[in-house]
Structure 1
Amino acid sequence: MLQRKMTRRLTRWKDDPNHKSLIIKGARQVGKTFIVEDFAQHNYARFVRVNFEENPEFAAIFQGTRNAADIYSQLSLYLPGARFDKGTLLFLDEIQSCPDAITALKFLSIDGRCDVIASGSLLGISYKEVSSFPVGYVDHAEMYSLDFEEFLWANGFGESQIEYVKGFCERHEQVPQAVHQRMLDLFRKYIVVGGMPEVVASFVADADFSRVLQLQRDILAEYQNDIAKYAPSAEKAKARACFLSIPKQLARDYKKFTYSLVEPRGSARKYGGSLQWLYDAGIVNFCYKLDAPELPFEGNADNAKFKVYMRDTGLLVAMLEDGSQKDIIEGNLGIYKGAVYENIVADIFAKNGKALYYYEKNNSLEMDFFIRREGAATAVEVKSSQNRKAKSMDSLIANHGVRRGIKLAPGNYGTAGSKVEVMPIYMAMFL
């Protein structure tokens, strides 16, 4: 069974004596249902699951009621023998299909007779349909596909081994070459496999990349089915067009999302809502342009200019032509190589809770990312080759007041000038 960090998050939630109902948000197939069921098995005497997609009739229980006792009484009629007390975890799955149940979480939290977890794949979208969101009465967690550390766990790495590698990052030392090559090999495999639990489990079982690709493309087909099923009628074709344009967007030297690549003379007015739908569905991440490369990032961000990344890089690779997996493993992917490496770093940063920002000036200077590190605005450049030159970084430090930079590349640890560290790209997970 795959080890997930969400288990620890659930344990902290349960151990908090003041915990409320918990909402777990995340895209389809990132493992939300499995992790809740497994957690219930190890921590509760009883587990009651209500899936609003599989059993839409349960939605009637939550319509028009603001009384937890009534909800539990009606659930007992639908589920003979179910008990609702401190030994029970009630799991409201696919809750986006029942907005009234989201509202009812307030009253279930106040009642407190049993623990309640709600989960959904399209919660960012269904929130707009909730008449009264239970602000202050729910706890929140967001779940993603496996991050690189979880991928390492799945491939037999223990936490002590990861801490060993992290030590070289903290001490600013080169990683022993054998360890470096092993980490780089696994990182490239992670780029190709991604973090979708079913895909990772399949890869760990038999290392069959053709099966990996089949599973990934099945997930991509489900994403397109979700667009067709759930996107507003006026947005369906546009959301699909935006989704399919992502590889082409990232293949360019300057990767700011350009609506004309979706459609000639396309505009934010026409496609902005479609892109937001993809974000709300948990399919993409936005990386916003900074007007100035300095803190605070949020105050310096231009929300009208952004790059779009896939939230799972394995799915991005699956959108490319056949043979791309092999090219990545061998370190040769032409115009897409930089895009794929940039996407994986964006994915890692987002899974570590970082908002994504980049900097661009006059289409002549671009820095892939900016992060807050040790209290300073830190430029991060991503390279798919071992070239240690850092021309853009040097310009930022010399002319724009940036105090430090990190260059992530396949090579080992080193420096590129007095203020630029060169780190193995897999060390992005420690930043």
Structure 2
Amino acid sequence: MFERSILKDLRQWADNPYRKPLILRGARQVGKTTIVGQFSREFENYLPLNMEKQEARQLFESTDDVKQLLPMLFLYCNVQRSPGRTLIFIDEVQASPHAVSMLRYFYEEMPEIHVIAAGSLLETMLDRHISLPVGRVEYMALHPCSFIEFLNAVGEERFVPWLQEMKLPNAFHDQLARLFNTYALIGGMPEVVARYVAKKDVVSLSAVYNQLLVAYRNDVEKYARNNSQTSVIRYILEEGWAFAGQSITLGGFAASAYKARETGEAFRTLEKALLLELVYPTTGTTLPLVSDLKKAPKLIWLDAGLVNYAAGIQREYLLSKDLNDVWRGMAAEQIVAQELKTLSNDVGQKRHFWVRAKRGSSSEVDFVYLYDGMVIPIEVKSGHNAHLKSLHQFMNETPHDVAVRVWSGSYSVDEVSTAEGKRFHLVNLPFYMVGMLKEILEKCMTKWG
């Protein structure tokens, strides 16, 4: 099993003397239980509990005294306590609101115990059946595997230091581009990546994709508030994959008869389940970024591999050498958005794109990224610099001088001027380097002073 990058953040959490019980958030099947199992090897005592099991649930609900509860947990898990650190993992915690409430008592009365909680449906039940102990817990998000994690999984980790140092010889560009196209095709769901590593056969992944999609659809009754919302959510989970990377309208979404209000509620429920995100535009080029909820959002799904399978576009990847040509460029935007999401484990992190506030303007930049107090524009395009009109317009309105183009070419930096005379650095970033964006910007800023 390859090591996920989130383990580094888990170690930092564990070593923090002021840590609080951690709630690990992520969609179903992104590997939360597996990650905690790997992390548990670094502890002398590990107590895994699943709140969907009646005995474990009854144990937690039998007392409010965590000091009294702890020896019972060792007994239940059949673990002889050893000197050293103890990690308690409470899985499917949403099945026991009482277990959620007890997290505060671990923080207040037994801070030396490491506690992690997770639940595939926890997000959809917050504020309905469950109240989290505010100020007594902290959060971390787990996403599908990034391209860097994919390289580690397929045994190509030798490229990672070269990418981080921006010193990859051009001779390896085509090889990295092919690897990234494979990643963009199959996506980053851990089970899919593991199956691909074992068999190197894309066709064999169909059963895994189908199992994941069926599991998400079967969860609908747990997500939905009523029968009407159940129908809308099911419709989105059946038809919505074909709209990945596109701006959508809520009313009449995907040629349905559903109204904007009921579609919006369904989308927000699926957002809580972390299956998708409605990415709204901002009109600002400086902080703070404010989402313009009156404008149409882009639909970005959890994982590109699921999109490609569910929307039936896998074959296009095999026939194209440039991601910008696949599925009218929407595939490129989906996978870049997915890579941008992996740059942070912060819960609640939102992505944005930019539109010009001027009435009648059609200027749009695919994404913006916050770095060191700056709003960095990111265009996902091939072609000449002159074709980046919206990005030039953005740079005219922002005080800094750095922009990013994600493309199929090699890494380079151009000195560019807008028609109005604003000079700026254009960082041309291959798709396979998007996951290094923070490191690249840091090195560039240091170089440019």
TM-score norm. by structure 1 comes to: 0.87
Query: What secondary structure, in the 3-state scheme, does the structure 1 residue paired with 2:160 have?
Result: helix
- Following superposition of structure 1 onto structure 2, how do residues 375-414 of structure 1 map, counting pairs within 5 Å? 375-383=373-381, 385-386=382-383, 388=385, 389-398=387-396, 403-414=401-412
Query: What secondary structure, in the 3-state scheme, does the structure 1 residue paired with 2:225 have?
Result: coil
1:276 and 1:391, CA in 2 relative to 1: closer, same or farther beyond 3 A? same
Indicate the residue corresponding to 1:11 in structure 2: 11
Q: Which amino acid aligns with 2:45?
A: R
- Following superposition of structure 1 onto structure 2, how do residues 18-29 of structure 1 map, counting pairs within 5 Å? 18-29=18-29
Offset at residue 69 of structure 1 (A): 3.3
Name the % identity.
28
Q: Deviations over 1:291-341 (max 9, x none)?
A: 3333221xx322344222012111111112264364366447867241111
- Counterpart of 2:307 (choices 307, 316, 320) is 316
Indicate the residue corresponding to 2:206 in structure 1: 213
Distance 1:342 1:21 in 2: 35
Q: Which amino acid aligns with 2:205?
A: V
Q: Which amino acid aligns with 2:149?
A: E
Query: What secondary structure, in the 3-state scheme, does the structure 2 residue paired with 1:324 have?
Result: helix
Query: What secondary structure, in the 3-state scheme, does the structure 1 residue paired with 2:49 have?
Result: strand
Query: What secondary structure, in the 3-state scheme, does the structure 1 residue paired with 2:23 have?
Result: strand
Are 1:376 and 1:403, in contact at CA under 8 Å, matched by a contact in 2? Answer: no
Are 1:26 and 1:122, in contact at CA under 8 Å, matched by a contact in 2? Answer: no
1:131 and 1:399, CA in 2 relative to 1: closer, same or farther beyond 3 A? closer
Indicate the residue corresponding to 2:50 in structure 1: 51
Indicate the residue corresponding to 1:89 in structure 2: 87
- Counterpart of 2:287 (choices 248, 273, 295) is 295
Distance 1:216 1:226 in 2: 16
Indicate the residue corresponding to 2:436 in structure 1: 430
Distance 2:223 2:108 in 1: 32
**Structure 1 residues 8-17 or 79-88, which shifts more?**
79-88
Query: What secondary structure, in the 3-state scheme, does the structure 2 residue paired with 1:20 have?
Result: coil
Is 1:356 matched with 2:351? yes
Are 1:32 and 1:119, in contact at CA under 8 Å, matched by a contact in 2? Answer: yes
Are 1:245 and 1:261, in contact at CA under 8 Å, matched by a contact in 2? Answer: no
Are 2:323 and 2:331, in contact at CA under 8 Å, matched by a contact in 1? Answer: no
Query: What secondary structure, in the 3-state scheme, does the structure 1 residue paired with 2:300 have?
Result: strand
Distance 1:81 1:373 in 2: 46
Are 1:192 and 1:325, in contact at CA under 8 Å, matched by a contact in 2? Answer: no
Q: Deviations over 1:49-97 (max 9, x none)?
A: 21122x1343233448432134336546755666598543221111122
Distance 1:58 1:302 in 2: 45
Structure 2 unaligned regions, length at least 5: 418-423, 438-449
Are 1:324 and 1:333, in contact at CA under 8 Å, matched by a contact in 2? Answer: no
Aligned residues: 418
Q: Deviations over 1:176-206 (max 9, x none)?
A: 3322112111111110121111111111122
Q: Which amino acid aligns with 2:166?
A: F
**Structure 1 residues 300-309 or 68-77, which shifts more?**
68-77
Q: Which amino acid aligns with 1:410?
A: S
Offset at residue 364 of structure 1 (A): 2.2
Indicate the residue corresponding to 2:272 in structure 1: 280
Distance 1:399 1:8 in 2: 38
Indicate the residue corresponding to 2:64 in structure 1: 66
Are 1:33 and 1:93, in contact at CA under 8 Å, matched by a contact in 2? Answer: yes
- Counterpart of 1:226 (choices 219, 241, 248) is 219
Distance 1:294 1:2 in 2: 39
Q: Which amino acid aligns with 1:116?
A: V
Q: Which amino acid aligns with 1:397?
A: M
Offset at residue 149 of structure 1 (A): 1.1
TM-score norm. by structure 2 comes to: 0.84
Query: What secondary structure, in the 3-state scheme, does the structure 2 residue paired with 1:195 have?
Result: coil
Indicate the residue corresponding to 1:369 in structure 2: 367
1:333 and 1:220, CA in 2 relative to 1: closer, same or farther beyond 3 A? farther
Are 1:381 and 1:406, in contact at CA under 8 Å, matched by a contact in 2? Answer: yes
- Counterpart of 2:160 (choices 159, 162, 167) is 162
Indicate the residue corresponding to 2:170 in structure 1: 177
Distance 1:131 1:266 in 2: 29
Distance 1:363 1:394 in 2: 14
Offset at residue 24 of structure 1 (A): 0.9
